[in-house]
Structure 1
Amino acid sequence: MKKRLMFAALLLLGAGSLSACTVRVTAPSATISLDTSNYINSFEPGRGTNSNYYVGEQVSFRLNTTRSGYVTVVALNPDGYSNVLTYNQYVSGGTTIIDGGPRSYFEVAPPRGYQRVRAIFTTQSQNGYSRASIEGRYDSGQWDAQVKFYLQPVPTQARDVVETGFWIR
């Protein structure tokens, strides 16, 4: 499992799809370094990274941060469509469960395959940033570039991005 994740990271670096960015892989989550600070200790689905979820099941995420701030969670579906699961949610330092809130939840839906999910953490509110700028249809390299574009107004010392994923069966 770790070998596959490391191989994928090396492929991305070798292909040059991240240009000046670097990828550092930490178990169990991949941390995407877009010139970021290390505010996120861990981010993973409730059952753990690379776990299985079946269509119709609910999924939540555990996020652990070193300080309080704001998080936007974005999913890249197996078909390449990116959608925002939660936007600009305030989190206290420590562990937070992100589950869609008391009146809604995240329900696993097709297409089946590997679901990539990123937590974008900033120390200041993201209200001024365009939520729509990270939604759309992307390949892996385009998604990295779009997240970098989304974070452009945020100073390097005020942000962090971590990726995790799970299988939709």
Structure 2
Amino acid sequence: MRFLGFSLVVLLLVGCAPQPGIGEKERREWGLQPIISGFAPDRGEGGKYKLRERVFFSFTLSQPGYVTLVTMDSDGTTVVLERNVQLPAGRHTFPLATDRNAQGQAAYLVVPPLGPSRFRLLYTDVPATNRELFRGKLSNDEFNRHTQAYLSAATVRDVAETWMEAVQ
């Protein structure tokens, strides 16, 4: 089930300092394969957005599977924006064009606090079943452990990371 559903908006928590993307060490340890490419907000990685502006995230999958979008703010609060969305190979944008509400296309809106925010896109070849992950406040190490646990049941898995910045 997806967090976004058909609600008017999903509020993004912003305000964490961008961290380096998933490094080669993590790629080896986590058994990642190059499935996700081009993951970025619509203004590019590090793009600046004013409060209440809409944000869309684009990415390409080299094969079909399930994706989950998670954000983490500066105090470590994590929010799952999309969970286990089954998608075909190809180019995609979140929220999906099929995510509608009474006013039309659903959107993510930038909300306080100001500053950089980090986003992680997780790919698995099977739906992930552990819904207890990515809840509450996490350290960077805990965020990585949750990511590893989320990916653990999948034979084929990948992770991509990006960031954006909320400004006035």
Q: Which TM-score applies when normalising by structure 2?
A: 0.76
In structure 2, the residue matched to 1:46 is 42
CA contact (8 A) 1:79 1:111 kept: no
- The separation in 2 between residues aligned to 1:147 and 1:43, in whole angstroms, is 17
In structure 1, the residue matched to 2:82 is 86
The amino acid of 2:111's aligned partner reads A
CA contact (8 A) 1:42 1:65 kept: no
Tell me which of 151, 154, 163 is aligned to 1:165.
163
- The separation in 2 between residues aligned to 1:119 and 1:53, in whole angstroms, is 20
In structure 2, the residue matched to 1:77 is 73
Q: Secondary structure at the match of 1:63?
A: strand
What is the identity percentage for the equivalent residue pairs of Structure 1 and Structure 2?
25
- The separation in 1 between residues aligned to 2:100 and 2:83, in whole angstroms, is 16
* Deviation per residue, 1:76-131 (Å, 9 max, x gap): 112321100111112121100112622232111112221100100111223xx223
In structure 2, the residue matched to 1:17 is none
Tell me which of 108, 122, 132 is aligned to 1:120.
122
In structure 1, the residue matched to 2:153 is 153
More helix by share: 1
Q: CA-atom RMSD, angstroms?
A: 2.2
Q: Secondary structure at the match of 2:147?
A: helix
Q: Secondary structure at the match of 2:132?
A: helix
Q: Any unmatched runs of 5+ in structure 2? A: 1-17
Tell me which of 50, 56, 61 is aligned to 2:57.
61
- The separation in 2 between residues aligned to 1:131 and 1:165, in whole angstroms, is 24
Q: Any unmatched runs of 5+ in structure 1? A: 13-21, 26-31
Greater RCO, 1 or 2 (C-alpha within 8 Å, sep 6+): 2
- The separation in 1 between residues aligned to 2:24 and 2:118, in whole angstroms, is 16
- The separation in 1 between residues aligned to 2:132 and 2:49, in whole angstroms, is 27
* Deviation per residue, 1:116-148 (Å, 9 max, x gap): 00100111223xx22331222112222111111
Matched length: 142
Q: Which TM-score applies when normalising by structure 1?
A: 0.76
